[in-house]
Homo-oligomer: A and B are copies of this chain.
Amino acid sequence: MALRLIDADGVEALTMRKLATALNANPMSLYHHVPNKDAVLQGVARTVGAQFRTATREDAAWQDRIRQLAEDFRTLAHRHPELMTYSFARPDFIQPEDPFWLGLTAVLEDAGVPEAETPQVAAPVCAAVLGVLIAEVNGALHQWSALLPTGDGDGGRADTGPDDSRMFRLALEMIIAGLDSRLTSERIGRDSSDSS
């Protein structure tokens, strides 16, 4: 219910009193099930962060599997844009047990990242993807890119959606390419074929 209110009116409009009346309850009854407001926000953030289940097919190339993870997360972000910008400010948004995190680390390991380094590589990747997602969802991406009108013919304001998709995908490809170059350069540096 809290999530529904947030999706409708934004995080800052969520109020213990409103939540209670939306639940047909007395405002004070909430405090019997939850210690305070931050706990409900944390609950919502974590629930959504853990929500999406992304079954990456293990036969695909790691690049494709990362693309799939990122796209899945993007549709989640588009479903809850108001929560997204708020959640990313919390350090506990994504938990180590979340399917997104598990999927990402699994893919990176399959791609050849040494197991001991996986979290240290996954963390920046996750942060970068989330950063682009937030910037897309709150309009920053669109505003930054809208300095020069790309075409000349049209009205000039209509196509906000597809342009954002292109930029998100560009960022994603950049990250994948960066990951790739890091992996190959490392493999050259060592050149010992550790299978498993």
Contacts and interface: CB of A to CB of B under 8 A. Distances in A.
Interface residues of A, number: 57
A177 interface: yes
Interface in A122-137: 122-132, 134-136
Interface of A: 85-86, 88-94, 96, 101, 116, 118-132, 134-136, 138-141, 143-148, 150, 163, 166-168, 170-171, 173-182
Q: How many copies does the complex hold?
A: 2
A182 B171 contact: no
A174 B170 contact: no
Given A174-B182, A177-B178, A178-B174, A132 B124 contact: yes
Contacts of A101: 144
Contacts of A127: 131-132, 134-136, 140-141, 171
